[in-house]
Amino acid sequence: MTIPINVEMLNEANLLLDRDAFLTGLLSQVTTNKNDSSLQNLRDGAISWVRHSVIPNTRDEEWRFTDLSPLKKVTFKNVGTIDELSLQDDFVLPDVGHRLVFINGVFAASLSEVSNLPTGVKIGNLDVLPTQVAQEYLAQAEGEKEVFTALNTAGLNDVAVVWVGKNVIVENPIHLLFISVSANAATISQPRCLVIAESNSQVTLIEEYVASSAQEVYLKNSVTEVWVNENAQVHHSRVVLESDAGFHIGKTAVTQARYSRYSCNSVTIGGKISRHNLEILQTGEQTETTLNGLTVIADKQLADTHSALSLNHPYGVSKQLHKCIISDRAHGVFNGKIFVPKPAQLTDAAQLNRNLLLSSKSRIDTKPQLEITADNVKCAHGATVSQLEDDEIFYLQSRGIDEHNARKLLVNAFASEIINFIPVASLRDKLLNKVVSLTDK
């Protein structure tokens, strides 16, 4: 029996593939060197999804303030890792003992330091993780079908892995360093990070993104999955220090089990266009979540922070403070959502966005947002937008401080409230110097 082919339906299905020429070009740069069948299944599903997708534009509600047209004008290449690269002095944190280094998303074992780990801790690339654990956690967080996340999964290859076993407490911070090297071309790299804190464990992470060159254009599309199991505690600092020519799209997906505690200190400085999607999913009751953020941009830079906190169970506590320092013609965006459905009774959630505009032409679009259907909760949200107060500057001048240094002192004080949450002194000093260099113009 011959089954007739519906040519019209077949043509229509083909039209749904490769809908976006820019995405198709990025997919063509995907290279993998691991032949694991389970990874390949993840890649194949993500590739199929990306081929049916398009790059977001300003007509999409979640992207209406972030125009990606400058990104789409660039043809990116995947050049892989660079041989014989040495770490710059300012890339090394002398007060951190353990370090993983990835260059253009590829693990650099010779630059990493993984010795003298506590028993029950594994850090490295995907090779250190048992296959069963990788299948249970990798690419299993909510939001995998977001287009940039799917693009990252399509090129899934090397993964920065931090696995802390049950009842293990890691005293010293672990530094995850992701370096972009342009190699005289517009490059794309897709760093991936998987953090698993088993029940009753504790760990502190420093996740840092830097560039070795300030001249060439590059795109960094990063995804970090954090699994905080029952009664575990994760202190997470995410630092993005991009050059003026860098594009950075980042996703942090956190899954919190009951009684767990998670804190994120996120600092973004520089970058032509940057976007951070921070998504927290509560899967059990009585969790604690603390989110601190700082964005510092100048010139014509654009930085967008979107956070979504889903509190689906009772007795959850969350506190969020996000600050922006914006100068020149830069444009900042903050959109924070907290979802409190009916089962999440006795939730205590607070969200505040504070913005400091250093120029009359700088701009901020802010939208703190609560969606509550539970009837026994304590929730608050708000936003402030201001400039440096003349009275404050005059007060400092009356104490012998000139106007320039008075402004610098006030900006540093505004930024320090967030930076001081970072547990590594050398990184705090570096970030304060970056704030001064970007705003002191």
pLDDT of residue 142: 86
Q: Is the CB of residue 62 less than 8 Å from the CB of residue 140?
A: no
17-37 residue pLDDT tens: 778 999 999 998 876 666 667
End-to-end CA distance of the chain: 77
Which residues are registered as beta bridge partners of 180? 211
What is the rounded CA–CA span in Å between residue 30 and residue 325? 36
Give the angle subtended at the CA of 11 by the CAs of 9 and 12, to the nearest 5°.
60
93-128 residue pLDDT tens: 988 989 999 998 889 988 999 988 999 999 999 889
Q: Is the CB of residue 102 less than 8 Å from the CB of residue 210?
A: no
Instruction: Please state the φ and ψ torsions of residue 348, each to the nearest 5 degrees.
Output: -120, 105
pLDDT of residue 181: 86
pLDDT of residue 10: 38
Q: Domain coordinates of the chain in residue numbers?
A: 12-284, 389-441
Torsion of CA 156, 162, 164, 170, to 10 degrees: -170
What is each CA distance from 206 to 243, 247, 424, in whole angstroms?
19, 21, 9
Q: For 19-34, give the DSSP string.
A: --HHHHHHHTT-----
What is the rounded CA–CA span in Å between residue 242 and residue 217? 11
- pLDDT under 70 in the chain at which residues? 1-16, 31-36, 80-84, 214-215, 441
User: Which of 264, 92, 125 is closest to 191 using CA atoms?
Assistant: 125
What is each CA distance from 242 to 85, 301, 320, 358, 369, in whole angstroms?
18, 11, 24, 21, 29
**Global pTM value:** 0.93
Q: 236: burial class by Cβ within 10 Å (0-12, 13-18, 19+)?
A: buried
Give the angle subtended at the CA of 326 by the CAs of 322 and 328, to the nearest 5°.
175
pLDDT of residue 34: 62
User: Which of 412, 407, 362, 356 is closest to 385 using CA atoms?
Assistant: 356
Matching residue, tokens 């940039």: 148
Instruction: Please state the φ and ψ torsions of residue 367, each to the nearest 5 degrees.
Output: -150, 80
User: Which of 103, 72, 70, 69 is closest to 87 using CA atoms?
Assistant: 103
Q: What SS3 state is found at 132? A: helix
pLDDT of residue 29: 83
User: Which of 70, 370, 20, 434 is closest to 249 using CA atoms?
Assistant: 70
Matching residue, tokens 């890649």: 43
What is the rounded CA–CA span in Å between residue 279 and residue 89? 33
